Amino acid sequence: MSTETREREQSTTKRRKRGNGLVALVFLSPLLVIYLVYFLYSIFFLGQTSMQRVGISLLRPLEVGFENFALLLADSVFWQSIGNNLVYAAISILAALTIAFFIAVSLSTGVRGRRIFYLVFLLPALMPVSLVATIFGSMLQERFGVLNETLRAVGLGALAQSWLTEPGLAYAAVAVIFCYLIGLPVMYYTADLAALPTSSLEAARIDGAGTFRIMRSIIYPMMRGTHITVILALLLGSFRALEQVLFSTDGGPGTTTEIVGTYLYGYVNSGGKTIGFASAASIVVLLIALVISLVQMYATRIPKADR
């Protein structure tokens, strides 16, 4: 093939790709415009109201500069809610990297009772989180909750506790809810397990490696990309969490289980001129989430650079 013919074919290929890109842009442009307007307006609204003292009606705002941010940064409850978010995220990530991974591998190998696993762990991921949290909250009620009533029925009434009013128990109860909602990580692992090369697994089987050795030494390291996706999704998702706490403990007792979602929800619905304060808190939370995303992106690029 001559140089002139090769250059002509390359030029034709470039024009075809450029044409396909323009067609895709035309079809995506309405959605891109909607998202652009939505996000720009949201950021503008937060930036404007964060400098004001204004109520939910947004009437007669009073310009206060950075006063809302100063009050926010001095609020210990806000930092407590940030800390609770990170703790709950760490607990859910630990559960996802262990329990969810084991469940996904078990389901992919055709373990007995897989329908029960789907029902117990995947069904909640398809249900409203508010419903799951409400059910958990009702089960843990001190007087008529299913857990305490069951303990009393089997003669273990001494073990019945005030699960939602004792600070330590309430904190643990919310952590259990976060751990239970691992259906999405199970789906991630299940989908990516189907794409793993089988040659390494077959070689390990031939060498006599057991099931748990294959899971720990071969499958788990090969799913590094999935682990990163799960960690990032759960970490950032924790800052969008609301129903897990709102419909179970409502942030109580006191502010023991307060998270960012319930913190903002309380100020937005307080009835006072707190919208500016809530907007300032939202901006700080967005910045924290952005920093986490950037750190995560940088951390995932280091091994690639080493290779």
Separation of first and last alpha carbons in the chain: 36
The encoded tokens of residue 148 equal 């305490």
Place of tokens 């294959």: 214
3-class secondary structure, 63: strand
Cis peptide, bond prior to residue 197, ω within 30 of zero: no
Mean pLDDT of 236-243: 90
Of the pLDDT bands very low, low, confident and very high (cuts 50, 70, 90), residue 251 is: very high
Least-confidence region, from 146-160, 207-221, 276-290: 207-221
Report pLDDT digits (tens) over 129-159.
Answer: 888 899 999 999 988 899 999 999 999 888 8
Share of the chain above pLDDT 70, in %: 89
Report pLDDT digits (tens) over 108-137.
Answer: 776 676 777 777 777 787 888 888 899 999
Residue-level pLDDT at 306: 42
Residue-level pLDDT at 68: 95
Mean pLDDT of 198-219: 76
Least-confidence region, from 26-30, 150-154, 196-200: 196-200
Does the pLDDT value for residue 302 go beyond 60? Answer: no
Residue-level pLDDT at 86: 93
197 Ramachandran zone, left/alpha/beta (phi>0; psi -120 to 50): beta
Taking the C-alpha atoms of residue 169 and residue 140, their distance in angstroms, rounded to an integer, is 10
Q: What does R_g of the chain's alpha carbons equal in angstroms?
A: 25
Residue-level pLDDT at 307: 40
Taking the C-alpha atoms of residue 67 and residue 49, their distance in angstroms, rounded to an integer, is 12
Mean pLDDT of 233-245: 90
Mean pLDDT of 228-249: 90
Taking the C-alpha atoms of residue 53 and residue 61, their distance in angstroms, rounded to an integer, is 6
The encoded tokens of residue 185 equal 């990580």
Mean pLDDT of 58-82: 94
User: DSSP secondary structure string, 234-300?
Assistant: HHHHHTT--HHHHTTTTT-STTTT--HHHHHHHHHTSSSS-HHHHHHHHHHHHHHHHHHHHHHHHHH
Taking the C-alpha atoms of residue 92 and residue 81, their distance in angstroms, rounded to an integer, is 16
Taking the C-alpha atoms of residue 66 and residue 280, their distance in angstroms, rounded to an integer, is 9
The encoded tokens of residue 16 equal 């075809």
The encoded tokens of residue 18 equal 């450029």
